[in-house]
């Protein structure tokens, strides 16, 4: 499979805008907080009056990606842009609200499909759409799937978008989590285009520097691989291979960008975040 290049990457997290806001040690920076919240982005309140936070951050992450690319929204509008949305649990708060407080959420916003729908409406995306549910492993499979779409010329670019929202369910996570890493709300979006390097996906392997990323970011479920891509931008220009790993639900996966012209980071502006 040909490796896609990452033309741009937008990142927002509870630590602040961009990967530059990440602490060196998420546990220490969280100072005992179980959830590091993103709050609400500043988006048109009337236009998004029914939208839930996961939808808002999905839209904001794509906006951050456009900023990173230095591109206008017209650059991604239309049928030649595919969107792959990934989340492990961003639908949790809306599901909970609908169960506990009838009328608190408009029912269609309980669906994971609501977030990519708002993105598609906002940016005029009318191309292929896929939604994967799961953690970082699903994000790596989404990138692999994106590479297939690009290789098959089904589209010219793929946006791999991941969002995780935790705050409204913090008490529920406290019941089931034993890890010390804080849950960090995050939204990331990678703009992928056709590249010339090689891409390999290895099952049952998850060793590629994952702990370093986790140490800085905290627990972000599906967003972690996008943070890993972004953090490696400074070391990938012309270098390779680059590997990103994830574990989720008993699966371990590593995605490896290789070949003479690794595309990871090509087009990504150093330090722009």
Partner 1 sequence: MTAVPGREPTVVVAAGVCTAVAQDVDSFWSALVTGADGISPIERFPVSDLRVGRGGEIKTLTRIDDWTGIPDCRATRLLVSAADDLCGQVGGRPLPVDPRRVAVVVGTALGGVEEGERALSGDRSGKRLRGALYDAPARNLARWLGVRGPVLTVATACAAGGTAIGVGADLLRHGQADAVIAGGYDILCRFVMRGFDVLRALTRDRVRPFDRRRSGLLLGEGAALVMLRRRAEAGPRVLGHVLGYATISDGSHVSAPHPEGRGLEHAIHVALGEAGIGPDRIDFVSAHGTATALNDPIESGVLMRVLGARASAVPVNSIKPVIGHTMGAAATLEAIMCLLASRHGLIPPTLNLDDPDPTFGIDCVRGAPRVARPRISLSTCLGFGGCNGALVLEGAPP
Check if the beta carbon of residue 164 is closer than 8 Å to that of residue 15.
no
214: left (phi over 0), alpha (psi -120 to 50) or beta: alpha
Cα separation, 184 vs 182, whole angstroms:
6
Among 56, 66, 69, 114, the residue binding partner 1 under the rule CB under 8 A is 114
Does 93 bind partner 1 (CB under 8 A)? Our answer is no
Vertex 204 angle, CA 200 and 208, to 5°: 65
CB contact at 8 A, 166 and 132: no
Convert residues 12-51 into a mask of x (bound to partner 1 by CB under 8 A) and - (unbound).
--------------------------------------x-
Name which of 139, 175, 224, 162 is nearest 34 in CA terms.
175
- The nearer residue to partner 1, 1 or 21, going by C-beta atoms, is 1
Question: Which one, 17 or 148, has the nearer CB to partner 1?
Answer: 148
Pairing outcome for strands 186-203 and 157-164: antiparallel
The reply to whether 89 sits near partner 1 by the rule CB under 8 A is yes
| Phi, psi (rounded to 5 degrees) for 76 | -115, -5
Cβ proximity to partner 1: between 165 and 231 the closer is: 165
Q: Which residue from 24, 31, 175, 260 is in contact with partner 1, where contact means CB under 8 A?
A: 175
Binding mask 123-152 vs partner 1 (x if CB under 8 A, - otherwise)?
Answer: xxxxxxxxxxxx---x--x--xx--x----
Summarize as ranges the residues that interact with partner 1 (CB under 8 A).
Answer: 1, 50, 79, 83, 88-89, 91-92, 95-96, 98-100, 102, 107-114, 116-118, 120-121, 123-134, 138, 141, 144-145, 148, 154, 172, 175-176, 201, 203-204, 249-251
């Amino acid at each position: 499979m040909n490796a896609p290049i990452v033309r741009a990457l937008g990142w927002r997290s509870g630590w602040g805008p961009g990967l530059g806001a990440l602490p060196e040690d998420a546990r220490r920076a969280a100072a005992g907080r179980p959830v590091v919240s993103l709050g609400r982005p500043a988006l048109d309140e009337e236009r998004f009056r029914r939208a839930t936070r996961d939808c808002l951050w999905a839209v904001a992450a794509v906006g951050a990606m456009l900023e990173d690319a230095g591109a206008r929204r017209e650059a991604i509008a239309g049928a030649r842009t595919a969107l792959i949305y990934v989340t492990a649990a961003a639908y949790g708060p809306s599901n909970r609200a609908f169960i506990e407080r009838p009328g608190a959420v408009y029912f269609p916003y309980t669906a994971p499909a609501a977030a990519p729908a708002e993105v598609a409406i906002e940016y005029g995306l009318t191309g292929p759409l896929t939604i994967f549910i799961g953690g970082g492993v699903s994000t790596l499979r989404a990138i692999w799937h994106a590479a297939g779409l690009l290789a098959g010329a089904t589209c010219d670019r793929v946006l791999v978008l991941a969002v995780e929202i935790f705050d409204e369910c913090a008490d529920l996570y406290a019941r089931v989590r034993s890890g010390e890493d804080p849950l960090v709300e995050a939204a990331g979006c990678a703009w992928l285009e056709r590249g010339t390097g090689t891409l390999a996906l290895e099952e049952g392997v998850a060793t590629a520097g994952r702990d370093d990323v986790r140490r800085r970011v905290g627990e972000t479920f599906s967003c972690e691989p996008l943070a890993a891509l972004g953090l490696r931008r400074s070391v990938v220009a012309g270098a390779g291979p680059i590997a990103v790993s994830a574990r989720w639900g008993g699966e371990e996966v590593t995605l490896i960008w290789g070949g003479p012209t690794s595309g990871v980071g090509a087009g990504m502006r150093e330090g722009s975040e």
